[in-house]
Structure 1
Amino acid sequence: MGIEAERATLFIVSGAARSAGDAAVGDLPGWRIVADEGGEGVAARALASRPALLLVDGRGDPAGGLAGVRALGGLAGATGGALLAVVDDGAALDELHVAGATHFLIDRGDPAELHQAIRFAARTPPREPGERRGRGIGISVEAGDAEAWIGSRLAAGTPVGVLMIALSRLDILNAARGRAVGDALIAAARARVEAITLALLGPAGFVAAPTGGDMIVASAAAPATLATLAAALDAALAQPLLVGARQAVLGSRWGMAASGPDDDAARLLRRAGEALVAAKASDGAMIRVAGPEGAAPLDSLAIDLHLAIERGEIDVLFQPQARIDTRTITGVEALARWHHGRLGPLGADALFAAADRADLGIALSDHIQRLVLARVAAWPAALSALRVSLNLTAGDLGRPGFAALFLDRVAASGVPFDRLTVEITETGAIRNLEAAAEVLATLRAAEVRVALDDFGTGYSSLAYLTALPLDYLKLDKALACGIAATARQRGVVRAVMTLARSLDLPVIAEGVETDTQRALLAAEGCAYLQGYWLAEPLDEAALAAMVEGTRC
């Protein structure tokens, strides 16, 4: 916002006691005065007026003046402009400053003094967009400021909750209505967040706006307060924002985290950020909550993983797969487990997430493949007829020469190629479908079979069926478990089964937990099952005992 060559615009929000802009400032040569009563949409109206200066007149109405500053503070911060607050006394200067006022005048009844304050504020060099002065709600554009604020509260023993909010649909909105409207919406959304946080928490709340439509909200209060604040902010951001005479609604994605006993500020922000990333990647969940208090931060797990392999903490269990009609065990899936020295058993999700953070994904996958092959090669005769499924990662499929490397590894182990099935997920193959197809074709030529895991959960399932050489489909456990819930869900499973039959692909249902689910899946033509109805993941001794028991 800069002063125009001829008549600069002064946008004035007046309290209830002063409803007209000219009455608020008197005769002001060289200025075009736009008076506004404030309220809903005032930030958008202010931006549309192209103001050189924002002024909120709180004389005679301190509460209305503070509300006006809160409503326009986000716009001033987003555009780098000045916001002058005119008041009767200095009682609320701190609150006005926190809400976004950049300049102040305590009125002593001298119109010349007011005019001088207006000229001074308008001539102040513009700040970088988003910059705010002082310490408090909405004053920071740097995540480092949020980290310092959080760190000081944690050091004092105060629990802290963090919300990370990312506004969405901004690119679509900018394309449809212009960048200025998008900026006004961001400013209005920030103003809502700041006002609600200040109203609920006062000095125990903090709002930072690092970039664009991103916001960090921190609550130094009891953990339950974070949920209350999140509900209030969610409801506020779901309400339409006025853009001129029209309305627009912004989408948002959220990550939430509450401090645990071992959290410092960086870890807490990291966990909230990871939850936000998960929310952005989700097809449905708009809000993701980080792990419970006491959960290990991912960075800490990544550090531990560097030592876990050499310490022998990585192990595998084997979950049986059986024919759905006879319960005869025909194979197993190898599932990685991490026996963490401090946290106890951790599943594959935590293991591979830590590996990705530590850039150890390839090394971990190689280790697990060697471990599975060595175990299977040493199995007793009772297990010698079972097929073994092991998972390949996206990193595996993208490695140059991986097919030859894998086949050499299998040959060296002594495990017959035709006893192995490799499982891939849609997310594992989607990075390079053509390269994945080439790797899998080479493995199939050596009699290794291929299964598409978690089928039915991604948008690209049908594309994979035509592009990849496959031997099995593994029905995602959400579909398998949901088959008994509604006729609609049974219809979805029936459609998958019909599709699989048309392609001559046997279906393995994952996550089967009840006999009702098993019976319904069998009726729809499912060939195999895997899940707790049959058995949990087992070590070799328990697996051998189970196989021998089913043969008796």
Structure 2
Amino acid sequence: MERHSRTMQRAAGRRRGERTPSEEQQDLVAASADGVTAITVAPTSFEIVNAAYGRTTGDQLVDAIDQRLSGALAEYRSAAVRSGATFTILVGGEAQIGDAAVDATERALEHPFQIDGETIQLGARIGVARMSEEEPLDQLLRRAAEALAYARASEGATRRIAADGRGVSLAALAADLHRAMERQEIDVRFQPQVHLIDGQITGVEALARWQHPRLGVLGADTLLAAADRAGLGVALSDHVQALALRRAADWPDALSGLRVAVNVTATDLSRTPFVSRFLARVHEAGIAPGRVTAEVTEGAMIDNLHAAGTALAALRAAGCRVALDDFGTGYSSLSYVARLPLDYLKIDRSLTQAAVSDARDRVVMQGVLAIAKGLGLETIAEGVETEAQRLLLAARGCTLYQGFLCAEPLDDAALIELVSKDRERELPR
């Protein structure tokens, strides 16, 4: 991976004769033939900090954020501008370098700040956009800012990825989505979940994809952002759940033992009666409840823990299993993990990937795995992309993993082929 030491520059307090940030950003784009990623990041609850500690402390906090981000991105080719407490950063390089910079940005703001003897803990929301071919810089920045707005409005996700659709706005995508389900453009892919000890594929997670007629395949982040904008979150969730369950029910015998995990949103849980609706969908699909896992994010349960726990207990009583998704981000309260009726704890990809290179993150991961084991929960690590990550997880007792090390999200034909080859390797010779 190419690295270039270049610390971030601020819009204010510059020395006479230095270039403006906009010029730096333009220079970076001109020099980055291998691509550009825009990252827009803002701390959460910053207004509360100003109200609680005063504007002077707030200003010092923004300076501290600036310094920490500069350190985290010093090895990347980057140029940044600051507006209030919002930072807009351009990173030169191919997509994997941009992704690594986003991870570094998120990690930089995870730890508390010490300001005038006060310990201030901040969360962060991040909007990300990858520059499309011949896309103007201002359009790229607008898409990243739009993604940040939806990250701020989300119920748990810390980042949003803008549509990689040659600059098409989220409003336009929302308008398209009204017709997309009728035209059967919304599909699902299935990412395998693999047992860490024997390498056997035991289940899959169903992930939404949008086969847009002009923009090609759009991922779940873009699809969910468009659904939020269009007010179609409920309809989309119903559609994706039903489609995933029907498809899994129709798989051939080679896949009949695989579990299928479907995502359940906060809106799903709040709808009455959620449990009967969900179980009716399972029944209509013709799939055994014992093969179905409901994956619920932490944010979906935080407002009404008792009601969520009651609903999840009812699903388990009917034979379904329950997974707590994206553990390690958002709220991550161990108190409610112990109280909820769960079967799986899913470790967020950011922790999975950071644990290989960071000793402190390894300690956190070890603690999470130990707690899960003590509670009788299986663990699924997301975002496993390297053999080093797999070996680390296996050595520390993680149960399952999913990620590109095994396979990207697959259509039915590719999944059948992968599982069939996997079974052939297991047969005695």
TM-score calculated relative to the size of structure 1: 0.53
Distance of aligned partners of 1:431 and 1:298 in 2 relative to their CA distance in 1, 3 Å threshold: farther
Deviates more, 1:302-311 or 1:424-433: 424-433
Determine the structure 2 residue equivalent to 1:477: 349
Q: Choose which of 380, 386, 401 in structure 2 pairs with 1:514.
A: 386
CA drift at 1:233: 7.8
Long gaps (5+) in structure 1: 1-160, 187-226, 236-250
CA distance in 1, matches of 2:217, 2:83: 38
Aligned to 2:148: 275
Q: Is the 8 A contact 2:125 2:151 kept in 1?
A: no
Distance 1:463 1:168, change over 3 A: closer
Q: Residues 147 and 161 of structure 2 are in contact (CA less than 8 Å); yes or no, is this contact kept in structure 1?
A: no
Q: Deviations over 1:364-394 (max 9, x none)?
A: 1111111112111211111111111111111
- Whether the aligned pair in 2 keeps the contact of 1:302 and 1:358 (CA below 8 Å) is yes
The residue identity in structure 1 corresponding to 2:148 is A
| Equivalence for 2:225 | 353
**What is aligned with 1:381?**
253
Alignment check: 8 A CA contact 1:433 1:467 kept: no
Once the two structures are TM-superposed, the CA of residue 337 in structure 1 deviates from its matched residue by 0.6
CA distance in 2, matches of 1:431, 1:421: 22
Query: Which of 179, 194, 210 pairs up with 1:338?
Result: 210
User: Deviation digits for residues 423-442 of structure 1, max 9, x if unmatched?
Assistant: 01112222322222121111
1:315 and 2:169 aligned? no
Partner of 2:244: 372
Q: After superposition, what is the alpha-carbon deviation per residue over 1:40-94, rounded to whole angstroms, capped at 9, x for unaligned?
A: xxxxxxxxxxxxxxxxxxxxxxxxxxxxxxxxxxxxxxxxxxxxxxxxxxxxxxx
CA distance in 2, matches of 1:270, 1:507: 35
Match in the other structure for 2:325: 453
Show the counterpart of 1:422: 294
Match of 1:297 among 141, 164, 169: 169
Count residues with an aligned counterpart: 331
Contact 2:203/2:259, CA 8 A, preserved across alignment: yes
Identity %: 49
Aligned amino acid, residue 497 of structure 1: L
On the 8 A contact 1:457/1:476 being kept in 2, the answer is yes
For 1:164 and 1:520, locate their aligned partners in 2 and report how far apart those are by CA, in whole Å: 31
Query: Would the aligned equivalents of 1:482 and 1:489 in 2 still touch at CA under 8 Å?
Result: yes
In the other structure, the counterpart of 1:551 is 423
User: Which SS does the other structure have where 2:319 is aligned?
Assistant: coil
Report the 3-state secondary structure (helix = DSSP H, G, I; strand = E; otherwise coil) of the residue aligned with 1:311: coil
Change in 2 beyond 3 A, CA 1:544/1:295: same
Q: CA deviation at 1:471?
A: 0.3
Choose the corresponding residue for 2:264, options 392, 409, 412: 392
For residues 244 and 199 of structure 2, what CA distance do their matches in structure 1 show? Answer: 24
Equivalent residue for 2:11? none
Higher RCO (C-alpha 8 Å, min separation 6): 2
**Does the C-alpha gap of structure 1 residues 233 and 258 become closer, same or farther in structure 2, counting only changes over 3 Å?**
farther
**Equivalent AA in structure 2 for residue 299 of structure 1:** A
- Distance, in Å, in 2 between the alignment partners of 1:365 and 1:288 is 18
1:327 partnered with 2:199: yes
Q: List per-residue Cα deviations over 1:192-246 (Å, max 9, x = no partner).
A: xxxxxxxxxxxxxxxxxxxxxxxxxxxxxxxxxxx67x259889xxxxxxxxxxx
Structure 1 vs Structure 2 CA RMSD:
4.1
> 1:304: Cα distance to partner?
0.5
Distance 1:461 1:444, change over 3 A: same
Give the Cα–Cα distance (whole angstroms) in 1 for the partners of residues 319 and 154 of structure 2: 36
C-alpha deviation, 1:277, in angstroms = 6.1
> Partner of 1:310: helix, strand, or coil?
coil
Q: Is the 8 A contact 1:319 1:531 kept in 2?
A: yes
Letter in 1 for 2:398: C
- Looking at structure 1, the residues matched to 200 and 44 of structure 2 have their Cα atoms a distance apart, in angstroms, of 52
SS at structure 2 position matched to 1:470: coil
Q: What is the CA–CA distance in structure 1 between the aligned matches of 2:130 and 2:423, rounded to whole Å?
A: 51
Q: Does structure 2 retain, via aligned residues, the 8 Å contact 1:256–1:276?
A: no
Q: Which residue is equivalent to 1:200?
A: none
Matched, 1:541 2:423: no
Asked if the contact 2:323–2:346 (Cα under 8 Å) also holds between the matched residues in 1, the reply is: yes
> How many angstroms does 1:481 deviate by?
1.7
Q: Does structure 1 conserve the Cα–Cα contact (< 8 Å) formed by 2:192 and 2:409?
A: yes
Structure 2 runs not aligned, ≥5 long? 1-37, 60-78, 87-121, 425-429
Change in Cα spacing, 1:367 to 1:502, as seen in structure 2 (3 Å) is same
| Residue identity matched to 1:275 | L
Give the distance between the partners of 1:254 and 1:480, measured in 2 at CA: 19
SS at match of 2:182: helix
1:267: how far off? 12
Distance 2:407 2:308 in 1: 32
CA contact (8 A) 1:272 1:289 kept: no
Match of 2:308 among 436, 439, 442: 436
Q: Deviations over 1:424-482 (max 9, x none)?
A: 11122223222221211111110100011111112333133133210011111112122
The answer as to whether partners of 1:319 and 1:333 remain within 8 angstroms in 2 is yes
Amino acid at match of 1:519: L
- Which amino acid in the other structure matches residue 205 of structure 2? E
The Cα of 1:164 is off from its aligned counterpart by 11
User: What is the CA–CA distance in structure 2 between the aligned matches of 1:289 and 1:447, rounded to whole Å?
Assistant: 35
| 1:492 aligned residue | 364
1:514 deviates by 1.3
Residues of 1 paired with 2:41 and 2:350: CA distance?
29
| TM-score with structure 2 setting the length | 0.67
Alpha-carbon distance in 2 for matches of 1:447, 1:288: 34
Letter in 1 for 2:173: L
Residues 232/339 of structure 1: CA separation in 2 closer, same or farther (3 Å cut): closer
Partners of 1:319 and 1:530 within 8 A in 2:
yes
